[in-house]
Amino acid sequence: MGQYYVYILTNRSRTLYTGVTNNLERRVYEHKRTVSDGFTKKYNITRLVYFETTDDVRSAIEREKQIKGWLRSRKMALVESMNPEWSDLAEGWYKTERDSSLRSE
């Protein structure tokens, strides 16, 4: 069994996106780099503000559906219960392109 994540991303306007993945670091990276067309790219939703884990994929999918069905106010309360400052929880996960260690010699 693996680990699965239900997560919420936002942008400066606090538009919310809820997703599920088995690799949170990779998936957030994809959102931050806007590698796929869609809702998160259109609205520049790149800040990870909430996540939870489970070892059961069906539970993760059900939880994602549950959260998606909530009113916006309930989703915001969920984020604020874990992250009252709405900080990007993925801050510092990735090296920036300006990082000299990424440049070729």
pLDDT, one tens digit for every residue, the chain (105 residues): 689 999 999 999 999 999 999 999 999 999 999 888 999 999 999 999 999 999 999 999 999 999 999 999 999 999 999 999 999 999 989 876 554 444 444
- Residue 46, number of CB atoms within 10 A of its CB: 20
Is the pTM higher than 0.95? The answer reads: no
Residue 43 belongs to domain spanning: 4-102
Residue 57 contacts by C-beta under 8 Å, 6 or more apart in sequence? 2, 4, 22
When divided into structural domains, the chain yields a total of 1
Q: What is the CATH number of the domain that holds 8?
A: 3.40.1440.10
Q: What three-state secondary structure class fits 57?
A: helix
Q: What three-state secondary structure class fits 72?
A: helix
